Amino acid sequence: MRLGWKATNLFGVHLEHGTLRLDWRGAMITGGHKAIGIEPNRILFGNVSGYRNVPGAPSGISIWEFAARGQKP
């Protein structure tokens, strides 16, 4: 994807719990604010930013992969 962002960086969710775990969420699954800027390592949402490549951050699966498993958040 553009600037090196992967689907799980943007739309990632916890493997079992969907969007219930904040530490597993992708940058675009943050809570309804429109993105106002995209940079190589962060996405800006007004007063909030979503970062990728945070040391120790877990990697989940994309929200559509979670949905395809028939699971609900």
* Range 1-21 average pLDDT: 81
**What is this structure's pTM?**
0.72
Please say if the pLDDT value at position 53 is more than 80.
no
CA dist., res. 73 & res. 14, Å (int)? 9
So what's the pLDDT on residue 2?
67
> What is the average pLDDT value for the chain, to the nearest integer?
81
So what's the pLDDT on residue 26?
81
Q: How confident is the model at residue 44 (pLDDT cuts 50, 70, 90)?
A: confident
CB 4 within 8 A of CB 10: no
